[in-house]
Amino acid sequence: MKSPVRLLLAAACTAALLSSPTAAWSANKPKAEKAPPVDCAKVKCIALTFDDGPGKYADKLLDTLKKTNSKATFFLEGQYAKSRKAFAKRMAVEGHELGNHSYTHPHLRELSEEKIREELTRTQDIVKQATGKAPTLLRPPYGELDERVRAIAAEMRLPIVLWNGGSRDWATKNEKAIYDEVLKNAKRDGVILMHDWVEQTVKVMPKLIAALQKQGYHIVSVSSLRGAQDLKAGDIYPVGSEKDDDLASETPDSPGPEAASPEDGM
């Protein structure tokens, strides 16, 4: 049995440790608070969407989104989600929205129904395996769709998301041009098309987000926008975008060489 003196010394040492600055900081360390959801019915929102990824610069883009408390929607190609699993996983963990952009970026209207299904289901499976979450939206490559694509999207319980504003980042690959084009097309509940494999897009993103936020925009995922919160399988959003004959001019004939580097980001 320990003597009373030893017990008193032990108690004194414990009290001293608890009163030290380090112990006090640990005891009172604030818990991380989850940011409240943005209500786009009450505030001005815009969605930045990124196709053909995860691109080789996706990690730097995710750093910027995290620092600016912004959420994006990533339309992933299965072939790159497979080779850059770490980037895809980080997108999901950090609360960004994931969409399906096919496996190899073909013209879906030129494929058989069997091949369309294969392109989409393969991507669903790979993204879910990489991130734990299956994509909840579909953006067909080039924005091209027909009744077969729409029926298969409905069968797979995927709303179709196109866009109503572009960046032409793949064409210009110029920071100022990308910045100017996005700000020109920015509007409330806008869906902006960009690419995370374009290095200039990623580099200009801190400046671009700052400019959008200065204009009062909250940068959110597509599903947070007004009119997109209750989309049903096979629905097309934004309304009217399916009638825009200029959609395909916002997308490259095929992803650039920066996208086609599957060894990066593994």
Q: Is the peptide bond before 30 cis (omega within 30 degrees of 0)?
A: no
57 to 51, 175, 201: CA distances (angstroms): 13, 15, 9
Distance CA 97, CA 142 (A): 20
| Nearest-10 Cα torsion for 184, 188, 191, 197 | 60
Sign of CA dihedral 16, 20, 25, 28: positive
Instruction: Report how far residue 250's alpha carbon sits from residue 185's, in angstroms, rounded to the nearest whole number.
Output: 12
User: 51 an active-site residue?
Assistant: yes
- Catalytic-role residue among 96, 101, 105, 195: 195
Which entry of 51, 169, 189, 264 is annotated as an active-site residue?
51
Cis peptide before 140 (omega within 30 of 0): no
Taking residue 146's Cβ as centre, other Cβ atoms within 10 Å add up to 11
Judge whether 195 counts as a catalytic residue.
yes
Catalytic residues: 51, 195
